[in-house]
Amino acid sequence: MGKNVMRMTKWKPTGLALAAIATTAAVALAVPSAMAQRDPAYAAARAAGQIGEQPDGYLGFATPPTPAIRALVQDLNIKRKAAYTASAQSTGSTVEQFAFTSGCNLIAKTKPGEKYQTPGGVWKTRDASPPERDARCP
Amino acid sequence: MKRTKIGARRPTIDVRHVAVMIGAPTLMGALTGCVQIETPDKPIEINLNINIRQEVVYRLDGDAKKLIEQNSEIF
């Protein structure tokens, strides 16, 4: 008698647990990636040549940053790493490989006046000529 | 009176000191003989560039371009 009751009570929570899992999954999917606009402080620091693109696909400091700029860049680099990680998984590559390929493109995309880092680690200001990139860049 | 007291104390202290002074170097000598810590003279370097080949970069280029376009807020 007692055993039967125990079995009945044991079944119910599993159903509830499955429902809970389903709802959390639905919530996680429903939350959209925040398509926030570029921070004006980021655009300003970029235009001023305080921050620039590195060959590894991340942002770096061409000049010693203020705490605000440091925080901004760290935040963007964390988001970039998350994006690279997702893309690396879907393309069957490593995060470093995908980040590096993105770095090639991001340096190519810099506008005159913006900073980028050469493969040798030197910060250069982009001018009208093509940027100095890694030999492996397409 | 005072001098004799000091004189009487001194030998006992000296004997202890002597014991420690003999014991410590022999212990130290024994320890240095057993335990040798050597630090590497060069830092351990892991070169990630080895893992990135040009063919891989070319293969990923299209996807990288797409990612940058679709996530312009972080690039």
B55 interface with A at CB cutoff 8 Å: no
**Which whole number is the average pLDDT over B33-42?**
72
A138 interface with B at CB cutoff 8 Å: yes
- Tokens standing for B45? 């370097």
Handedness of CA A72, A78, A81, A86 (dihedral sign): negative
Task: Round to whole Å and give the CA distance between A100 and A117.
Answer: 13
Q: Which residues of B touch A135 (CB under 8 A)?
A: 54
Interface test with chain A among B46, B49, B51, B52, by most A beta carbons within 10 Å: B52
Task: Round to whole Å and give the CA distance between B46 and A114.
Answer: 30
Q: Long-range contacts made by residues A107-115, C-beta under 8 angstroms, separation at least 24?
A: A107/A53, A107/A55, A107/A131, A107/A133, A107/A137, A108/A133, A108/A137, A109/B68, A110/A52, A110/A53, A113/A47, A113/A49, A114/A46, A114/A47, A114/A49, A114/A52, A114/A53, A115/A49, A115/A50, A115/A51, A115/A52, A115/A53, A115/A62
Q: Could you tell me which chain B residue has the CA closest to the CA of A99?
A: B64
- State how many domains chain B has: 1
Q: How confident is the model at residue A26 (pLDDT cuts 50, 70, 90)?
A: very low
Among the partner residues A84, A87, A96, nearest to B51 by beta-carbon distance: A96
pLDDT tens profile A63-114: 999 999 999 999 999 999 999 999 999 999 999 999 999 999 999 999 999 9
Q: Which of residues 22-51 of A touch B (CB under 8 A)?
A: 35-38
Are residues A87 and A46 both part of a single domain?
yes
Inter-chain touch A137–B56, beta carbons under 8 Å: no
* Amino acid occupying residue A126: R
Are residues A69 and A111 both part of a single domain?
yes
Listed in sequence order, the residues at least 6 apart from A137 whose beta carbon sits closer than 8 Å to its beta carbon are A104, A107, A108, B57
The mean pLDDT of chain A is: 82
Calculate how close chain A gets to B38, using CA atoms only, in Å. 32
Are residues A22 and A49 both part of a single domain?
no
Assembly ipTM = 0.72
A117 interface with B at CB cutoff 8 Å: no
Domain that holds residue B63: 2-38+45-74
pTM (two decimals): 0.61
Are residues A59 and A22 both part of a single domain?
no
Domain that holds residue A2: 1-31
B13 interface with A at CB cutoff 8 Å: no
Calculate how close chain B gets to A56, using CA atoms only, in Å. 10
User: Between A and B, how many residue pairs show a Cβ–Cβ distance under 8 A?
Assistant: 66
Are residues A94 and A54 both part of a single domain?
yes
- State how many domains chain A has: 2
Are residues A9 and A75 both part of a single domain?
no
Q: B40 vs A117, which has greater pLDDT?
A: A117
